[in-house]
Amino acid sequence: MKLSLEGLKNRQEWLDNGYKLPSFDIKAVADETKKNPVWVHFGAGNIFRAFQANLAQQMIEKGEMKSGITVCEGFDYEIIEKQYRPHDNLSILVTLKSTGDVEKTVIGSIGESTILDSENKAEFDRLKEIFSADSLQLCTFTVTEKGYSLVNGRGEQLPAVTADFAAGPEKPASYIGKVVSLLYTRYLAGKKPIAMVSTDNCSHNGEKLYNSVMAYAKAWVEGGKAEAGFLDYLNDETKVSFPWSMIDKITPRPDKSVEAILRKDGLEDLDPVVTTKKTWVAPFVNAEETQYLVIEDKFPNGRPALQDVGVIFTTRETVNDVERMKVTTCLNPLHTALAVYGCLLGFTKISDEMKDKELVNLVNILGYKEGLPVVKDPGVLNPKEFIDTVLQVRVPNPFMPDTPQRIATDTSQKLAIRYGETIKSYIADPERDPKNLQMIPLVHAGWLRYLMAVDDEGKAFEPSPDPLLEDAQKFVKDFKLGEVPSAEDTKKTLLPLLTNKQIFGVDLDEIGLADKVVDYFRQEIAGPGAVRATLKKYVD
């Protein structure tokens, strides 16, 4: 069995091995996609193949779309050259259900793969053709939050951005610069309407994309590199919109256990490709079954009927409420708590943590007792039902190969939104007192303990990547397992960190939580087993 159009001709072999195959003519859909492009997606990674491409497949199956998606990769061109095109733009989606069932689907909805390279004339000219088409309705993005940033970690403008601002839309080098160049092509082709839809997992994603796009457009207009009308075009929502969205689907890196299942079926050419940019990409993706996509309904050139395949269309305010519900209460804070304590307690799978009494109690109290009472119900998704699904179905799924080490990445960048917003809600409510919070400061203390890079058995471990890791570790470098300084000395050492609003979202000392964090931390450094003992003391 080979993943290619030729290989799919032996349909019965695939069906006998339990694969769902596209019922439509894949080549006909590809031809229609090239002739009348409707949907371009920037970012050819795993989440796209597991989510957006599958949505398109379902719509084609229903007869509600004739064309597929045009995928465009702008960071790592080898993903297209070495994985997509050798497999005729096909991929396999392996859905890992909490019941233990494995669903294998061949995705054939990607009608064309393109490369966002302004130095490659053929590739960039093809994209200009696509962006000039009347039929084009929307562009979606999964390029990560960093993809929209025009500055480095120190706030300095990236050299490629500076160069593109000066040079104009002809041959930009930066990712968003190339996207804005294509928008300028669409403007010059007759000010044709389009929706630019970020589906990246970050707050106010549509606003982030808009701000990045406008930075280029203003620089080009002010520098005489683009017509003044381009700014009016981008600011006219009857022409160009930047809807906000909330996306949620766990899609870990393709796992060896899943690869073994496919190999047993007789599938060939499964070896992953590791590009020169160190991207690890395979012909398959594995993902959970649960997924949510909520989008602000602003599409000036129309849109596919994605509501028929589970996408929720609503107002910007509701999207924001859904995103806050997920990020500040119902999922992300629970994940981070499991990540920090999972690393300390030696876990390597998130699902295994949900067999641990103390950790289950921790996230249940954190979600239901401390978070849920102050979350705003967005109306389109029920917060309690959302947490129920997270804690009873999604996180315990033993077939999802997700790790606390992956989720612990960039924790310093996550604490402010994942816990700080709930603390602020307590501060703003005259009937609540942030000093009564127990689990949130316990997670903060756990992170401080994590920064010591020594687990609960006293063994050293490698902390996950984090832009502030070295800076934060300076505050715990003198603490040693089994040596507990006085509360006064501990607080004195940690106070500059605990008062950092950038990290915690609030000044923990100012609101009266610093002493509790210090107390928990001191208990957790008492010696080997102290983390477990502290959890037992406060969550049982």
Whether residue 452 contacts residue 461, with contact meaning beta carbons closer than 8 Å, is answered with: no
Residue 377 reports pLDDT greater than 80: yes
Sorting pLDDT into bands at 50, 70 and 90, what band is 100? confident
How far apart, in whole angstroms, are the C-alpha atoms of residue 385 and residue 391? 10
* Average model confidence (pLDDT) across the chain: 96
Give residue 394's pLDDT: 94
Report, as an integer, the average pLDDT of 190-197: 98
Plot region of 210 (φ>0 → left; ψ -120 to 50 → alpha; else → beta): alpha
For 39-88, the pLDDT digits (tens) are: 999 999 999 999 999 999 999 999 999 999 999 999 999 999 999 999 99
Q: Helix or strand or coil: residue 359?
A: helix
Reported in sequence order, the residue ranges of 252-387 that DSSP labels E, i.e. its strands, are 273-274, 280-281, 284-288, 292-296, 312-314
Phi then psi dihedrals of residue 96, to 5 deg: -100, 105
Q: In degrees, to the nearest 5, what angle opens at C-alpha 317 toward C-alphas 314 and 321?
A: 95
The mean pLDDT of 465-481, rounded to a whole number, is 96
Q: In degrees, to the nearest 5, what angle opens at C-alpha 21 toward C-alphas 32 and 109?
A: 30
> What SS3 state is found at 13?
helix
Tokens 């915690």 belong to 504
User: What's the pLDDT at 21?
Assistant: 98
pLDDT band at 373; cut points 50, 70, 90: very high
Whole-number percent of the chain with pLDDT over 90: 91
> 104 forms bridges with which residues in the sheet?
19, 94
Distance CA 53, CA 249 (A): 13
Return the top range by mean pLDDT from 193-197, 259-263, 275-279, 401-405. Answer: 193-197
Tell me the pLDDT tens digit for each residue of 409-424: 999 999 999 999 999 9
- pLDDT value at residue 145: 86
pLDDT tens, residue by residue, 291-324 = 999 999 999 999 999 999 999 999 999 999 999 9
The pair phi, psi for residue 284, each rounded to 5°, is -130, 160
What pLDDT is recorded for position 244?
98
What stretch of H or E contains 91?
A: strand 91-96
Beta-strand pair 91-96/102-107: antiparallel
| Residue 222: per-residue pLDDT | 97
